């Protein structure tokens, strides 16, 4: 037994233990904290599966952003009246048995792999050189399955529209209800001053390096969003009202440029979302930069929630 397999077993035990504790915990707060830790451990598992791009996304989104959203919700839900009744013992028991059956079915599928494992990896590598990209995952995201990536950004914007539309009519176009903890000379203020310059450089690096190495628009955008949220929560910068024209422009600039390049591909390269030969890499980098900005703003606003106050004029 090598040291790595011991590490893997330890990791799996931790992931399963903390995963189960998020379900079993009595307090919602403890469950959410467990979920953040779980997300970070899971990203290590992704590294062990040689999927570093996924690991970065899981750490940033699965642990960080989702955890932050849920923590905010837990604090607000403490005001809620009325308690839920727990499911009765027979219901819980039968649910447990059925869930165990689902797990057993999945485990059986994993333990009996097919004779010939279907894979698209050789085809991806065959044509990757034409795009000028070095990271096969970025190649899949921006060349082979560019439509998926485009629609994913549209989903983000649609989700944001959904969140905004939950605001009461009277505060439409107002300021998101992000909790601000402005205390002078606190640790939070210090961190909010110290981290953003570093974070912004990391975000730009991730976005740029995404073409060659693990990283990319999404991971970079998440770091940007985190820095923006940090500055807003510490009260160093006001939370903008959602009717600001610059905010809406930043939100759509990424998908619009992506779509424009895609449509131009219909004329120049004979297919929607195809890139003209020789220009693939510069076009993809341009799309990635625009997407990083849009994703950063969209994620930040999703985490900030629906508008709750009207802007003071």
Partner 1 sequence: MNAATLFGLSGAALVGFGLYGLVTNPEPLRKILAFNLLGSGVFLVFGVVSRRAAASGLGGDPVPQAMVITAIVVAFAATAMAIALVLRLLQETGRSTLSADNSGGTNTDGGNS
Q: Interface with partner 1 by CB under 8 A: which range of 56-64, 189-197, 203-211, 262-270?
A: 56-64
Of these, 6, 49, 263, 266, which contacts partner 1 (CB under 8 A)? 49
Is 87 a binder of partner 1 (CB under 8 A)?
yes
- x/- contact string, 168-187, with partner 1 (CB under 8 A)? xx------------------
Residue 140: CB partners within 8 Å, gap ≥ 6?
124
Binding to partner 1 (CB under 8 A): which residues in 271-310? 299, 302-303, 305-306
- x/- contact string, 67-86, with partner 1 (CB under 8 A)? --xx-xxx-xx-xxxxxxxx
Backbone angles phi, psi at 176, to 5 degrees: -55, 150
Of these, 131, 218, 220, 293, which contacts partner 1 (CB under 8 A)? 218
Q: How far apart are CA 57 and CA 201, in angstroms?
A: 18
Contact by Cβ (8 Å): 194, 283:
no
Q: Interface with partner 1 by CB under 8 A: which range of 145-153, 198-206, 252-260, 276-284?
A: 145-153
Is 130 a binder of partner 1 (CB under 8 A)?
no
Minimum CB distance to partner 1 smaller for 3 or for 267 = 3
Sign of CA dihedral 278, 282, 288, 290: negative
Is 6 a binder of partner 1 (CB under 8 A)?
no
- Which residue is associated with the tokens 């403890």? 30
The pairing of strands 307-309 and 175-176 is: antiparallel
Q: Which two tokens stand for residue 226?
A: 């985190």
Q: CB of 173: closest distance to partner 1 in angstroms?
A: 17
Is 204 a binder of partner 1 (CB under 8 A)?
no
Helix or strand run (H / E) with residue 83: none
Residue 47: CB partners within 8 Å, gap ≥ 6?
55
Residue 251: CB partners within 8 Å, gap ≥ 6?
157, 160, 294, 297, 298, 301
Strand partners, 176: 307
Is 156 a binder of partner 1 (CB under 8 A)?
yes
Is 58 a binder of partner 1 (CB under 8 A)?
yes
Is 90 a binder of partner 1 (CB under 8 A)?
no
Q: CB of 245: closest distance to partner 1 in angstroms?
A: 23
3-state secondary structure of 193: helix
- End-to-end C-alpha distance for the chain, whole angstroms: 68
Of these, 4, 184, 245, 267, which contacts partner 1 (CB under 8 A)? 4
Minimum CB distance to partner 1 smaller for 20 or for 266 = 20
Instruction: Determine the size of the site formed for partner 1 (CB under 8 A).
Output: 97
Is 247 a binder of partner 1 (CB under 8 A)?
no
Alpha-carbon dihedral 32, 167, 255, 57, rounded to 10 degrees:
0
Q: How far apart are CA 18 and CA 1, in angstroms?
A: 25
Minimum CB distance to partner 1 smaller for 31 or for 253 = 31
Q: Interface with partner 1 by CB under 8 A: which range of 48-56, 181-189, 190-198, 242-250?
A: 48-56
């Amino acid at each position: 037994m090598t040291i790595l397999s011991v590490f893997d077993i330890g990791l799996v035990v931790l992931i399963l233990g903390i995963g189960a504790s998020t379900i079993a915990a009595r307090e919602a707060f403890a469950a959410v904290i467990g979920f953040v830790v779980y997300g970070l451990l899971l990203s290590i598992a992704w590294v062990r599966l040689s999927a570093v791009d996924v690991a970065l996304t899981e750490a940033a989104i699965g642990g960080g952003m989702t955890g932050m959203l849920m923590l905010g919700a837990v604090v607000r839900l403490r005001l809620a009246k009325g308690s839920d009744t727990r499911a009765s013992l027979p219901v819980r028991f039968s649910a447990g048995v059925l869930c165990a059956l689902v797990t057993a079915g999945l485990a059986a599928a994993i333990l009996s792999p097919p004779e010939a494992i279907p894979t698209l990896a050789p085809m991806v590598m065959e044509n990757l050189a034409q795009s000028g990209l070095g990271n096969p995952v970025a190649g899949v995201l921006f060349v082979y399955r560019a439509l998926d990536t485009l629609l994913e950004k549209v989903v983000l914007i649609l989700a944001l529209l959904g969140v905004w539309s939950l605001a009461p009519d009277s505060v439409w176009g107002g300021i998101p209800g992000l909790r601000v903890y402005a205390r002078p000379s606190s640790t939070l203020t210090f961190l909010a001053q110290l981290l953003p310059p570093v974070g912004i450089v990391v975000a730009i690096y991730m976005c740029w390096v995404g073409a060659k190495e693990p990283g990319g628009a999404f991971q970079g955008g998440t770091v940007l969003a985190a820095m923006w949220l940090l500055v807003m929560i510490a009260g160093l910068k006001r939370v903008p009202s959602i009717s600001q024209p610059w905010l809406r422009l930043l939100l759509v600039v990424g998908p619009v440029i992506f779509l424009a390049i895609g449509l131009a591909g219909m004329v120049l390269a004979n297919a929607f979302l195809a890139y003209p030969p020789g220009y693939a890499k510069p076009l993809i980098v341009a799309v990635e930069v625009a997407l990083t900005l849009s994703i950063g703003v969209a994620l930040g606003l999703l985490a900030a929630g629906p508008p709750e106050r009207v802007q003071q004029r």
